[in-house]
Amino acid sequence: MLLDIRNLTIRTKTNIGTVNVLDKVNLQIHEGEIHTLVGESGSGKSLIARAIMGFLSERWDVTADRVWFEGKDLLSLSAAERRDIIGVDIAMIFQDAKSYLDPNLTIGEQLSEAVLDRDLDGSWWQRSKQRKERVISLLHRVGIKNHKAMMQSYAHELSEGAAQKIMIASAIAHRPKLLIADEPTSTMEPATRQQIYRLLAQFHARYGMSMLMISQDLGAIMPQTERISMIYSGQLMETGPAEPLLQKPYHPYTEALLNTSLYRQAESQPRTKLPTLPGVEPTLQHLPIGCRLGPRCPYAKPECIKTPKTLKLRDRMYACHHPVNLED
Amino acid sequence: MKPLLVVESLRKVYHSRTGLFQQQTTVALDDVSFTVNEGQTLAVMGTNGSGKSTLAALISGAVAPTSGRLVFAGEELEAGNYRQRAQVIRMIFQDADASLNPHLTLGRQLEEPLLFNTKLNARQRHERIMKTLHQVGLLAEHMVFYPHMMSTGQKQRASIARAIILQPKLLVADEALATLDSSVRAQIINLLLDLQRDLKMSYIFISQSPEIVRHLADEVMIMKDGQVIEHGDVQDVFTAPKEQYTELMLMSELQRK
């Protein structure tokens, strides 16, 4: 088990008091696994990633039974221990790659910052030469052949795909054991998205690094995904291996999302209405009691005002009183 | 069906200075002509830099064409004349964060087009705003929200609400559905189909997603380097693309089959 999260709860203060934005979320990532976390905007999927990285500010109160990375508790790290893990063993890439690059530095300068001094040896000129070689090899690894021009360009000159490649290059500089990708491709055109997915899959195959992909669309997830977790409004709905989960979702929410996805409805009749969940996702001030999907769920019964226990069935887990597709 | 918008040999050239006396000319749009009928949906596809956003800017009147003309319901459109357009042509942009005014609450923001373009009184305006918010899947309590208090998907819904609140004849959507959650996107697609059926609205959809185009559009126009390289019925173009470029654009869908 590479990353083991048990009962992660994140609270924040709102005008109606303290609210559990994230409600007892469990997430396990094994070595060498590609895990995709799917949820709509505002469901708290980015909060999980930020809690793992320790990016959350004071106004988010993070508690958990455990957030273990290789047996180390990530929530109680000292600053020195944190430096050894975050950015080295756990790296992260973001949705809006361009805005995460420094506009004042060239790409070459930024990438050489990602190469740590302790990985180099010799006198200072040997080190600087090694540093440059490392940067060039990083660029080659993400498929940028013209490294000279790229190292001299600034962030604003890059296309979205190229900027994301630079982010990936600096993220893999230390061969992280876990790469967290927070919607890395959601604003890209389909061809570029495929390219980024291919690149990530390549690194996964070569270094065996685990990945936590975060996505908002079940139809546009990375094809190589092994496990999928569904999150809705801060509650984990369902976890399981990708193929069976997409073929036969247990949770009504997964089923509903699959129905609304245009990518999965390739044979649908054009200009017909798509089946959707009624209503909107709740605001933080009006979170429903019990199962938060309750008010929108087509199968909801009175007992849904109690939070369902997470049940395990072989290698799949779901939290629902009335799961679908469970007959066999 | 009456033609609603007729575009005749539209051309747009940008000049950018590269030196003291040198200038570089970029042809963003080259001799584009098409017609959008009432109640019809036209999709425009193309990769980055193919001129599709320039086309949207020209239709919305934000940019003046170098040559060519736009005729809307028999009346020629002038660039910069927003009075002429405001009630009949509305736009939805890709970047919802930047298209809403950060100083105004959502309620005020939706009220502005009604104030300037209709003679509704305060109560009718309030009712219309509530109805429109409900249509796009937002709640009445969102009226007091400032844009920074909402997520990107909600902001996009707010800008869709702002576009449809005046019940325009033509809606130009520039990658408007790309950043939405799939369940919200499905709701918006249903809403757009409803509006088209009830109000005979026409849409110009600028999109890179073949799935959305196939579901919503009647006709599709493929653009490359400012030129229309293919234009026809969605089914025809999707099943038998003439150009290799079109095939590449549709690749993401074909791969899944």
Q: B residues 63-92 near A, CB within 8 Å?
A: none
Residues of chain B with Cβ-Cβ distance to A41 below 8 Å are 151-154, 181
For chain A, what is the domain count? 1
Predicted complex: ipTM over 0.85: no
* Closest chain B CA to residue A42: B151
How far, CA to CA in Å, does B158 sit from each of A20, A21, A287?
26, 23, 21
Find the DSSP H helices in chain A.
Answer: 45-53, 79-85, 97-100, 107-114, 124-141, 147-152, 160-171, 190-207, 242-247, 252-260
Q: Which region among A103-107, A318-322, B153-157 has the lowest average model confidence (pLDDT)?
A: B153-157
Confidence of residue A264 (pLDDT cuts 50, 70, 90): low
pLDDT of residue A263: 63
A290 occurs within a structural domain: yes
Q: Please provide the DSSP assignment of A210-247 as one string.
A: EEEEEES-GGGS-TT--EEEEEETTEEEEEEEHHHHHH
Nearest chain A residue to B217, by CA: A271
Q: Say whether pLDDT at A189 is over 80.
A: no
Answer yes or no: are the C-beta atoms of B131 and B120 closer than 8 Å: no
pLDDT bracket for residue A328 (50, 70, 90): low
Subunit contact A266:B257, Cβ cutoff 8 A:
yes
A28 has pLDDT over 60: yes
Strand arrangement, sheet containing B75-76: B23-37, B3-17, B67-72, B75-76
Half-sphere exposure of B169 (CA within 13 A, CB side): 15
In order of A23, A250, A291, B61, B65, the CA distances from A20 in angstroms are 6, 25, 13, 47, 53
The candidate with the shortest Cα–Cα distance to A142, out of A98, A184, A116, A172, is A172
The answer to which of A127-141, A178-192, A262-276, B227-241 has the lowest mean pLDDT is: A262-276
H or E, element range at B118: none
The reported pLDDT for the residue numbered A265 is 56
Sequence-distant (6+) residues with CB within 8 A of A90 are: A52, A53, A69, A176, A177, A178, A179, A180
Mean pLDDT of B74-78: 83
Cα–Cα distance for residue pair B250/A207, rounded to 1 Å? 32
Taking CB atoms and an 8 Å cutoff, what residues of chain B touch A265? 211
For the stretch B181-232, pLDDT in tens is 777 788 888 888 888 888 888 999 998 888 888 888 889 998 888 888 889 8
Provide the domain limits for residue A37. 3-95+210-318
Whole-number Cα distances in Å, A79 to A61, A82, B180: 18, 5, 38
Residue A312 lies in a domain: yes
Confidence check: pLDDT of B254 > 70: no
Q: Determine the Cα–Cα distance for residues B79 and A227; give it in Å rounded to an integer.
A: 53
Does residue A279 surpass a pLDDT of 80?
Answer: no
Q: Answer yes or no: is A55 within a domain.
A: yes
Percent of chain A with pLDDT over 70: 97
The Cα B59–Cα B204 span in angstroms is: 10
Name every residue whose Cβ is closer than 8 Å to that of residue B79 and which is 6 or more positions away in sequence: B58, B61, B62, B63, B64, B65
In order of A67, A177, A261, B16, the CA distances from A31 in angstroms are 16, 8, 30, 52
Q: Read off the amino acid at residue A170.
A: S
CA distance B141 to A282: 11
For A314, counting Cβ atoms within 10 Å of its Cβ (0-12 exposed, 13-18 middle, 19+ buried), the class is exposed
* Per-residue pLDDT, B256: 46
CATH of the domain at A273: 3.40.50.300
Answer yes or no: is A12 within a domain: yes
Whether residue A57 lies inside any domain: the answer is yes
Contacts of A278 in chain B (CB under 8 A): none
pLDDT band at A266 (very low <50, low <70, confident <90, very high): low
Question: Residue A241's pLDDT is what?
Answer: 92
pLDDT of A92 above 60: yes
- Residue B253, pLDDT above cutoff 70: no
Would you state the structure tokens that stand for residue B78, as one six-digit string?
């002038």
Residues of A numbered 86-145 whose beta carbons fall under 8 angstroms of chain B's beta carbons: which are they?
Answer: none
Q: Give domain status of residue A37, yes or no.
A: yes
Report the distance separating Cα A223 and Cα B256, nearest Å: 10
Q: Does residue A100 lie in a domain region?
A: no
Residue position matching structure tokens 């984990």: A236
pTM of the predicted model, to two decimals? Answer: 0.81
Domains of chain B by start residue, with CATH: 1-88+172-179+204-257 (3.40.50.300)
In chain B, which residue's Cα lies nearest the Cα of A264?
Answer: B256
Q: Please report residues of A whose CB lies closer than 8 A to that of B215.
A: 262, 268, 270-271, 274
Asked if the model's pLDDT at residue A104 lies above 60, the reply is yes
B42: pLDDT confidence band, cut at 50, 70 and 90? Answer: very high
Share of chain B above pLDDT 70, in %: 97
Cα-based distances in Å from A110 to A100, A103, B146: 11, 10, 36
CB pair distance less than 8 Å for B208 and A189: yes
Tell me how far apart the alpha carbons of residues A239 and A241 are, in angstroms, rounded to a whole number. Answer: 7
pLDDT digits (tens, 9 = 90+) for A2-12: 899 999 999 98
B69: nearest Cα among B32, B25, B123, B118: B32
pLDDT at B257: 39
Whether the CB-CB separation of B156 and B136 falls below 8 Å is answered with no
Q: How confident is the model at residue A327 (pLDDT cuts 50, 70, 90)?
A: low
| Percentage of chain A exceeding pLDDT 90 | 21
Interface of B with A in 142-161 (CB under 8 A): 151-154
Q: Who wins on pLDDT, B257 or A284?
A: A284
A53: which DSSP letter?
A: H
- Averaged pLDDT, A217-246: 88
pLDDT at A157: 85
CA distances from B44 to A285, B4, B56, B182, B233 (A): 40, 17, 10, 21, 12
Block residue for tokens 């006709």? B219
Q: CA-nearest residue of chain B to A218? A: B182
How is the beta sheet containing B202-206 ordered, strand by strand? B89-92, B170-174, B202-206, B41-45, B219-224, B227-233
Average per-residue pLDDT in chain A? Answer: 86
Instruction: List B150's β-bridge partners, or say none.
Output: none
Question: Which residue of chain B comes nearest to A265, CA vs CA?
Answer: B211
Mean pLDDT of A37-59: 87
Task: Name B206's Cβ contacts closer than 8 Å, sequence gap at least 6.
Answer: B43, B44, B45, B52, B53, B55, B56, B172, B173, B174, B175
Q: How confident is the model at residue B99 (pLDDT cuts 50, 70, 90)?
A: confident
Among A residues 253-292, those touching chain B with beta carbons less than 8 Å apart: 256-257, 260-263, 265-266, 268, 270-271, 273-277, 279-280, 283, 285
Identify whether A62 is part of a domain: yes
**Is pLDDT larger for residue B69 or for residue B97?**
B69
Rounded to 10 degrees, the C-alpha dihedral B206/B229/B55/B22 comes to: 130
Residue A31 has pLDDT above 60, yes or no: yes
Write out pLDDT tens, residues A154-183.
Answer: 888 888 888 999 999 989 888 899 999 998
Least-confidence region, from A238-242, A276-280, A318-322: A276-280
Output A64 or A285, whichever has higher pLDDT: A64
- With an 8 Å Cβ cutoff, are A271 and B211 in contact? no
CB pairs under 8 A between A and B: 93
Closest listed residue to residue B70, CA positions, set B89, B53, B83, B51: B89
What mean pLDDT is predicted for residues B64-73? 88
The predicted structure's pLDDT at residue A122: 83
